[in-house]
Amino acid sequence: TVDADLRARFEFRHGFKTLFPDSANPAAFVVQRTRLKIGHKGENVHFFTSLQNIRVWGDVSQLNSSDVNGVAVHEAWAKISFNENIGLKVGRQELNYDDARILGNVDWAMQGRSHDAALLRFSDNDLKIDAGVAFNQDGQSLVNTTLINPGTYKSLQFLWAHLKREEVSVSVLALNNGLQFIDPTDADQNEVRYSQTVGTHIKLSRMI
């Protein structure tokens, strides 16, 4: 299957993120996201790739020989179905659960959010369980595992369970997030510091 997603948005900014100075003029621009999605689904294997380009109209000249924005891999994963209930999904993928307050794809941002992770999934009628793990590095180093990139976590583990009945659905999400701490004076003190988050999501729907 081949699919595409094009989103263009005009923004007028006057005081966005900070107090607006009296001497400045408001900002205005059009930002565009273009995604090309390619997937193949077999009997037990599903492959999917999503390439995206994020640009502001006018940031590349008309007679351009190159694009400063480039093309990024938003998603690139494979899913293996062991049976009708259990599957394993590995690669760069969106993690989007419930109302996306704890884990979400941040789709209101043009670039969105995706993770390099492995996801074990169980589904049986009204019960769904996902268990995910991630471990990030800057590159293929020969020594040490210190993560320098400040824009992501070092490791992540989570468990999500969802149960749906006729008029109610209940989810529980438990997450262990490890951030890399770098000591500016002593590299031996570099460590991963963990925080835990547990949340629930309950949705009621009454038949009328």
pLDDT of residue 167: 87
Q: Which of 18, 196, 35, 27 is nearest to 111 (CA)?
A: 35
pLDDT of residue 51: 98
Residues 136 and 205 in one domain: yes
Question: Could you tell me if residue 206 is inside a domain?
Answer: yes
Predicted confidence (pLDDT) per residue in 108-149, tens digit: 999 999 999 999 999 999 999 999 999 999 999 998 889 999
Segments forming the whole domain that contains residue 36? 1-63
Virtual torsion, Cα 87, 131, 202, 112, nearest 10 deg = -90
Q: Tell me which of 32, 63, 94 is where a domain ends.
A: 63
Question: Could you tell me if residue 134 is inside a domain?
Answer: yes
Residues 141 and 194 in one domain: yes
Categorise residue 138: left if φ over 0, alpha if ψ from -120 to 50, beta otherwise.
alpha
Predicted confidence (pLDDT) per residue in 42-55, tens digit: 999 999 999 999 99
Cα separation of 82 and 121, whole Å? 10
Give me the chain's average pLDDT, please. 93
Cα separation of 179 and 123, whole Å? 31
Cα separation of 55 and 66, whole Å? 13
pLDDT of residue 208: 53
Residues 120 and 161 in one domain: yes
Question: Residues 112, 75: contact at Cβ < 8 Å?
Answer: no
- pLDDT higher than 80, residue 151: yes
Question: Could you tell me if residue 204 is inside a domain?
Answer: yes
Backbone angles phi, psi at 174, to 5 degrees: -120, 130
Q: How large a percentage of the chain has pLDDT more than 90?
A: 77
pTM: 0.88
Predicted confidence (pLDDT) per residue in 68-106, tens digit: 788 999 999 999 999 999 999 999 999 999 999 999 999
- pLDDT higher than 60, residue 195: yes
Residues 133 and 190 in one domain: yes
Backbone angles phi, psi at 95, to 5 degrees: -115, 110
Number of domains in the chain: 2
Backbone angles phi, psi at 30, to 5 degrees: -120, 125
DSSP, residue by residue, 111-126? S---EEEEEEEEEETT
Question: Could you tell me if residue 9 is inside a domain?
Answer: yes
Residues 50 and 87 in one domain: no
Token pair of 193, please?
A: 């510091």
